[in-house]
Structure 1
Amino acid sequence: MSIHHIALVLGTRPEAIKVAPLALALEARGCRPHLFLSGQHPRLDLAGLGVGHLPADQLRCVPDPDPFAFARTVAVALAPRIGRSDLVMVQGDTSSALGGALAAHDADVPLAHVEAGLRSFDPALPWPEEENRVTIDRLSSLLFAPTKDNAENLAREQLAGEVHITGNTGIDALRRLVGSLPKRTGPPVGGLPRLLVTCHRRENWGLSFVPVALALLALARSPWIAIDVVLHPNKAMADTVRELLAGRPRINLLPPLDYRAMVMAMRRSSIILSDSGGVQEEAPALGVPLLILRSKTERPEGIRSGNSKLVGTDTRLIIEEVERLLEDSDAHAAMALPALPYGDGHAAERIADASLAWLDRRKRVERPRLIA
């Protein structure tokens, strides 16, 4: 196998969690990737994720309220640094991922998209993520689709990139943390039923969070329930949550949690309410029923597996679904049956193998012929 120079671009905590297994898989195959950190989230626990020893450049791009302006800032900072790379890899649909894709295009370096093919089919939900992922897929030479659904989306769009169905590296990260999956066979034993709530998508900022807060306040009137709400690092969103929910009985506001603490909180919960993409992937594997605080999702597989349900931000529907799951043990048990709709925990190995094989083929084609 030839020695290849691979650049991994990331900027957010979820990206770091999902990129870490891939970086380690590449390293295990003799390819030491170079990490480029955009600065979208200022503190990434690379050491805690096991990749702190890898070479990394801090781009230190200043976050911009305009996500596309930030993506272009990342691209301008990154493009001059990746000219010697054989492949640029980005994960997901963040502004950092879009910036990495644009930089690869500007520098004429092949691009690989990890978590390709997710579609809500609505540019506004979520925004800007849906536009980001569509643009990144169009620029990519390698498209790593977590599921068959994702690959079919790419096939319908007739993109030029080579498509591989691999599973999601988020499940790899979860497997590394908690061991073999799945294990859980029922709700946590002892104590009050606990709801775990996370909410951070742009469509749920500001006044849009009010219906969710009203549902939580209504549920918290019961003395037989405890509600944990995880604050997001985004100050505006956290301030909104504090204003509406701080000091209320049976509602606990938790500071932003690191990856390990978040997974442990999920495992302690009876029901999760969240608009997070990562939580949509992790909850089925952990066997925790999930009510999705969105009207549309690009991850329908968890709904089909029976582990998740869309409730949007409808106050009445949120209350009804939580009460149904708490009162109907059969309904709860059906949603709590662990499943792996997003992969088996070996996605990083498949992505690393496919990437290096593609690069080997590319080098063989490009190698000049010797003239006798």
Structure 2
Amino acid sequence: MLTLAGTRPEAIKLAPLAIAAAARPGIAHRLVATGQHAALFHQTLAAFGVAADADFGLLVPGQSIEALAASVSAAVTAEIARDRPDLLIVQGDTTSAWAAALAADAAGVPVGHVEAGLRSGDPLLPWPEERNRIEIDRVATLLFAPTPVALANLRDEPDVHGVAAITGNTGIDALLMMRDRLGPPDPRPDARRLVLVTAHRRENIGAGIAGICAAIVRLTARGDIAVALPVHPNPAVQAQVVAALGDVSHVSLLAALDYPAMVRMMTQAHLILSDSGGVQEEAPALGVPLLVLRENSERPEAVAAGNASIVGTDPDRILAAATRLLDDPAAHAAMARPAFPFGRGDAADTIVDLIEGWHAGRSI
């Protein structure tokens, strides 16, 4: 079994799968990095005691999506030719996952898709992620859907022909594993409530991040909160965030956090504002209210569970929703009850069980 990954979120969500596979003597598993997030990827794996078996080293600053896809496709094709795997595993909706899945399919290697079936309902938002996940699911032999909603999406699409099953999300495996390792959160050194913000989505660069930053400036004028914003390494994001918030009181612009530090900060937060997909899964499990800084979401389960609200990037909408949660204890409490719409921490073992069952049937 060959797993391909290259971004920090992929490292988080595939580390539990690597651990589960290593515990099964009947599975020979090889984890190969694309090199996209370079140090962050390997650092994240190391936090779980996992290491990649190889690294393609495909990181090129300023590389276009098309160039990345071509590089990944060529590297995966060569890897398959060297060591013909029974199954290629990809996770999520990155361009590298999409290119790898298509390359494997062209080479006749079955594809397993971790986090299959997520849909925003808008083919252009986010782009190219919505395209990527739809096309990966069309070629996948094994589709590991994190939730009943994701499974229903797959069953509603006539071009999806693989075997699909609900597994939960391996991101929750990783979160609960790390939370338990870290122990209870440390008390905060000051009385200001912590608002954690993350913003990096491609579709938000420009006007979206400008709106998010404007809302933060207005929020901090309250005087009773502290904002922590780990700045994404994307230079376009960095330039915009630093210019807008670099001199704002009670806003801490942080270097990208490693995964343990990020989990620690989420457990300390009174409120999270984020455009991240992974945070939409993690915040409910931690019982931290979340405002989603996007116009739609492929993870409606977080909203349905009552832990998240979609507010977009308009500063007035963000400010109104955040003010309500900061000023109304009942509203905050209603969103702060831990919920587990994305699983309870056993997704990786469930996925490995399904792979072993599939392989046994295929070998008969």
TM range (shorter): over 0.9
Other structure's SS at 1:89 match: strand
Stretches of 4+ aligned residues off by more than 4 angstroms: 187-190
Post-superposition Cα deviations, 1:246-286, rounded to whole Å, max 9, x if no partner, equal 01111111110011111111111110000000100000001
Query: Residue 36 of structure 1 aligns with which residue?
Result: 32
What secondary structure is seen at the aligned counterpart in 2 of 1:8?
Answer: strand
Q: Post-superposition shift, 1:68?
A: 3.5
**Partner residue of 1:175?**
176
Inter-CA distance 189–241: structure 2 relative to 1 (3 Å threshold): closer
Looking at structure 1, the residues matched to 117 and 188 of structure 2 have their Cα atoms a distance apart, in angstroms, of 35
Cα distance, 1:190–1:248 mapped onto 2, change above 3 Å: closer
What are the ranges of 5 or more consecutive residues in structure 2 without an aligned counterpart?
Answer: none
TM-score, normalisation: structure 2: 0.94
Instruction: Name the structure 2 match of 1:58.
Output: 55
Given that residues 188 and 269 in structure 1 are in contact (C-alpha distance below 8 angstroms), is that contact kept between their aligned partners in structure 2?
A: no
The aligned residue for residue 79 of structure 1 is 77
Partner of 1:370: none
Deviation per residue, 1:124-147 (Å, 9 max, x gap): 211111110001000100000000
1:293-332 equivalence runs, <5 A:
293-332=293-332
Q: Are 1:27 and 2:22 counterparts?
A: yes
* 8 Å Cα contact 1:188/1:270 also seen in 2: no
What secondary structure sits across from 1:82 in the alignment? helix
Answer yes or no: is 1:9 the counterpart of 2:23. no
Structure 1's unaligned 5+ residue stretches are: 1-5, 365-372
Q: Percent identity?
A: 48
Conserved 8 A contact 2:47-2:260: no
Could you tell me which residue of structure 2 aligns to residue 209 of structure 1?
Answer: 209
AA at the equivalent of 1:33: H
Is contact 1:74–1:96 with CA below 8 Å preserved after alignment?
yes
* CA apart distance, 1:206: 2.2
How much does 1:32 deviate? 3.3
1:360, 1:71 → 2: CA distance?
33
Residue of structure 2 in register with 1:264 after alignment: 264
Structure 1 residue 218 displacement after superposition: 0.7
Matches within 5 A, 1:1-372: 6-30=1-25, 31-43=27-39, 44=41, 45=43, 46-52=45-51, 56-63=53-60, 65-83=63-81, 84-158=84-158, 159-179=160-180, 191-364=191-364
Distance between the aligned counterparts of 1:298 and 1:101, measured in 2?
Answer: 20
Give, in whole Å, the separation in 2 of the partners of 1:287 and 1:339.
7
> What amino acid is the match of 2:313?
T
Q: For the residues of structure 2 that align with 1:326 and 1:77, how far apart are their CA atoms?
A: 49
Deviation sequence 1:69-108 (CA, Å, 0-9, x none):
3122101111121241000000000112112202211321
Aligned pairs, number:
354
Query: Given residue 32 of structure 1, which amino acid in structure 2 is its aligned partner?
Result: A
Deviation digits for residues 164-194 of structure 1 (CA, Å, limit 9, x no counterpart): 10000000001111139xx99xx98972111
1:33 CA drift (Å): 0.9
Q: Which amino acid aligns with 2:37?
A: H
Instruction: Name the SS of the counterpart of 1:179 in structure 2.
Output: helix
Moved more, 231-240 or 287-296: 231-240
**SS of the residue aligned with 1:197?**
strand
SS at 2:38 equivalent: coil
Is 1:231–1:238's contact at 8 Å kept on the other side of the alignment? yes
Hey, what's the Cα distance between the residues in 1 that align with 2:138 and 2:67?
19
Deviation of 1:51 after TM superposition, in Å, equals 1.2
TM-score normalised by the chain length of structure 1: 0.92
Larger Rg: 1
Deviations, residues 179-231 of structure 1 (Å, cap 9, x unaligned): 39xx99xx989721111100000111023311111111111111111111110
Preserved contact between residue 37 and residue 59 of structure 2 (Cα < 8 Å): no
Question: Relative to structure 2, which stretch is displaced further, 224-233 or 113-122?
Answer: 224-233
Contact 2:101 2:111 in 1 (8 A): yes
Partner AA of 2:72 in structure 1 = V
Distance between the aligned counterparts of 2:13 and 2:67, measured in 1? 24
Q: Is the 8 A contact 2:38 2:59 kept in 1?
A: no
> Aligned residue for 1:3?
none
Counterpart code for 1:18: K
Distance 2:66 2:224 in 1: 45
Q: Is the 8 A contact 1:166 1:347 kept in 2?
A: yes
